[in-house]
Structure 1
Amino acid sequence: MSPTDRAFMAHALGLGRRTMGQTWPNPSVGCVIVREGRVVGRGWTAPGGRPHAEPQALAQAGEAARGATAYVTLEPCAHHGLTPPCTDALIAAGVARVVAPFPDSDPRVFGRGFAALRAAGVAVETGVMAEEAGRDHVGFLTRVRMGRPHVTLKLAASLDGRIATATGESQWITGTGARAYVHAARAQSDAVMVGAGTVRADDPSLTARGMGVSRQPVRVVVSRLIDLPLMGQLARTARDVPVWLCHGPDAPSETRRAWQGLGAKLLPCRLSGRQLDPGSVLDALGQAGLTRIFCEGGGALAATLMQADLVDEFMGFTAGVALGAEGRPSLGALGIDRLAEAHRFALIETRAVGGDILHRWVRAD
């Protein structure tokens, strides 16, 4: 990998991040067209998933695309969907070389885009910044490979691991810097997910504020009986920002009708004992098109996801305050008797954010 290829691919990845969280079920792809060392076209997946990055970059490049190199952050699509294949557009524009990190895992595309380009005489190089691209496309790749969204669990806790006082007061344990970071993380996620207890206790809006996004994340509530306030913020704004309710088969029909009348989308899920099965919840969200879930708890939902080994990334904020044993724990009971039974995560980042500490972890396996 040449330094030049790496630099232009880094530019393309940066473009793709501009609409991360706004393009589901499509990946957020970036594309840079370069001719004789000069960028002649740039594009990224538009909110809603279309148009794709490549045709936008090619339109900007015009005739300058002929003989140029296209840096694309994922294999160009090769199938006819709502739009023609991007491989056809690249070939028709006369691009001489395509650089990409890896094949698209979608079985409709996998390797076919590269094969079509090579068959047309276009040079193809892969493996450029594959690790970085993998992190950016992790939600799309998880949904394609596993049928469910990638899940990031966020917890903001005191030094002793509490998320609220004994009376339930939790605003605000962390400072303004951490809260701004969380809003940015929401903006880059397809959906923000919480449990019913969090909605009843905090009446949250769950929107990404101050980020200038054109498409707010879906607000997902996991609630077996949909026992949620019909006059709360989510109910009042369900027609403006999507609200999806994952519920059980025993949710009262009148409650379902009330929420549907408010504009909410209902997703029926299976039960596991007396709780919603977390795998069924994520499968339903994946089938509905979501690729990246930012879960903000509370403790019961967080514990359920941890027990089911469905947390892919953990984002924690630790504040310089102690609440004591009477405070509410950040995680509900996990039923762990031996340390060997606990799920392990690998640290990928730690730094100060304002007066708090951010630590990010991913699956150790």
Structure 2
Amino acid sequence: MQQNRNKTPEDYMRQVLDLAVQGAGKVSPNPMVGCVVVKNGKTVAAGYHEQYGGYHAERNALKDCQEDLEGAELYVNLEPCCHYGKTPPCTEIIIEKKIGKVYVGCTDSNPRVAGKGIQILREHGILVETGILEQECRDLNEVFFHYMEHGTPFVAMKYAMTLDGKIACETGDSRWVTGEEARTYVQCLRNRYRGIMAGIGTVLSDDPMLNCRMEGGRNPVRIICDSRLRIPLDSQIVKTSSEIETIVAWNPREAARWGSQTEETVKKLEQQGVNLLEVPLKEQQNQLNLCYLLQKLADRGIDSILLEGGGTLNASFLQEGLVQRVYGFIAPKLVAGAQAKSPVEGRGISRMKDAVELQQTEVMRYGKDLCITGRIGGKTCLPEL
């Protein structure tokens, strides 16, 4: 047992958040949740949601605790669940252990919970206080809340550029824009987000793997936007699709319009393990309907996407208002070149006051490189491509 002197509920909730984040990359589409139990000023139990399908944080903290927990205080960043799913409800064990008071960071947006867990605890005589570090708790699970409240994946756009705004030289060479420390952090992002998306242009020019190279990490589901079905059968993506879940979004009519041998290509891709997802084109355009695509990905349980596309795909997502967060890595390099690619292309805006602005920005340093990240709120209004 750990003696805690003069600790506030906020102090305990910070401990809870530190525990919760250990579930990153392991629990989606569930939220990351931690739990700390305190009695007589001492921490007597702690736990977190360790893997999808496993016990939730509260049950992990309480199930093996040998202390008498009657009247103890329990701290958790998300409202305890109250329904039977893959595991029993957390409210049940909290009541069984005779916890006296529960401090909750934020309520659950899942309609199966959504205030019902708190209500059940109160009906059993347990005091409940909510809103402890509420914003920090929501921020930790921004993916979960977006997925629950909007029914579509949370999209984080990531790119690396030089100080003069280029993602590659005019020759197309792009290895490497940033240093090893920044690229290591990107592997952490690939572990955290459930899917990773790129356009066919990126596949044709770079032949990437789009896997997670972090020790103990989880490979994201690879999603390639390829309306004409041009992905090479000898690309790294296709050759490893039997090992790493891979989805290629395409449009049969568009592929046929360009004379692709679709029947033969489809057969060979499916034999390699590629999941082909037919997506309609956006009205009066020859690009895939991204809103439709995201909905189909959500139906498959993909709650978040790390967008590592080129400038065209990035512009399309921004124009549609489909990006929630941006990770912009900036390397202290200058490559110049009027034709060198930039991270967001398309037509662009005509007035600076109409620029898409990031909110809640943070600046992080990785070796010589910087990363600016922030949220995009509401619909963006970039012009049509």
TM-score, with normalisation over the residues of structure 2?
Answer: 0.88
Read off the aligned partner of 1:35 and give its amino acid letter: K
Residue 222 of structure 1: aligned partner = 225
Residue 369 of structure 2: aligned partner = 356
C-alpha distance in 2 between matches for 1:220 and 1:62: 47
Residue 312 of structure 2: aligned partner = 300
Read off the aligned partner of 2:245 and give its amino acid letter: P
Residue 326 of structure 2: aligned partner = 314
* Percent of residue pairs bearing the same amino acid type: 36
Change (3 A) 1:145 1:249: farther
SS in structure 2 opposite 1:164? coil
Q: 1:162 aligns with which of 159, 166, 171?
A: 166
Q: Are 2:166 and 1:143 aligned?
A: no
The answer to whether the 8 Å contact 2:50/2:56 transfers is yes
Greater CA drift, 217-226 or 121-130: 217-226
Residue 258 of structure 1: aligned partner = 268
Read off the aligned partner of 2:224 and give its amino acid letter: V
Read off the aligned partner of 1:274 and give its amino acid letter: N
C-alpha distance in 2 between matches for 1:68 and 1:236: 55
Q: Are 2:338 and 1:338 aligned?
A: no
SS in structure 2 opposite 1:245? strand
Q: 2:248 aligns with which of 237, 242, 245?
A: 245
Superposition deviation, residue 210 in structure 1: 3.0
The answer to whether the 8 Å contact 1:97/1:122 transfers is yes
Where does structure 1 differ by over 4 angstroms across 4 or more consecutive aligned residues?
none
C-alpha distance in 2 between matches for 1:78 and 1:275: 43
Greater CA drift, 195-204 or 241-250: 241-250
Read off the aligned partner of 1:342 and give its amino acid letter: A
SS in structure 2 opposite 1:31? strand
Q: 2:115 aligns with which of 111, 117, 121?
A: 111
Q: 1:95 aligns with which of 96, 99, 104?
A: 99
Read off the aligned partner of 2:250 and give its amino acid letter: H
Superposition deviation, residue 124 in structure 1: 0.7
Read off the aligned partner of 1:267 and give its amino acid letter: L
C-alpha distance in 1 between matches for 2:56 and 2:333: 47
The answer to whether the 8 Å contact 1:21/1:217 transfers is no
Bigger CA radius of gyration: 2
The answer to whether the 8 Å contact 1:154/1:316 transfers is yes
TM-score, with normalisation over the residues of structure 1?
Answer: 0.93
Residue 156 of structure 2: aligned partner = 152
The answer to whether the 8 Å contact 1:40/1:64 transfers is no
Superposition deviation, residue 49 in structure 1: 4.1
Runs of 5+ consecutive residues of structure 1 not aligned to the other structure:
none
C-alpha distance in 1 between matches for 2:216 and 2:264: 37
Superposition deviation, residue 249 in structure 1: 4.7
Matches of residues 1-365 of structure 1 in structure 2 within 5 Å?
Answer: 3-213=7-217, 215-250=218-253, 252-272=262-282, 273-324=285-336, 325-346=338-359, 348-363=361-376
Change (3 A) 1:80 1:8: same
The answer to whether the 8 Å contact 1:220/1:245 transfers is yes
C-alpha distance in 2 between matches for 1:334 and 1:87: 53
Greater CA drift, 275-284 or 328-337: 328-337
C-alpha distance in 2 between matches for 1:205 and 1:171: 14
Runs of 5+ consecutive residues of structure 2 not aligned to the other structure:
1-5, 256-261, 379-385
Read off the aligned partner of 2:308 and give its amino acid letter: E
SS in structure 1 opposite 2:160? strand
SS in structure 2 opposite 1:73? strand
SS in structure 2 opposite 1:70? strand
Deviation track 1:78-122 (CA, whole Å, cap 9, x = no partner) reads 122222211112112222221111210111110000000111111
Read off the aligned partner of 1:258 and give its amino acid letter: K
Read off the aligned partner of 1:34 and give its amino acid letter: V
Superposition deviation, residue 60 in structure 1: 3.0
The answer to whether the 8 Å contact 1:149/1:293 transfers is yes
The answer to whether the 8 Å contact 1:194/1:221 transfers is yes
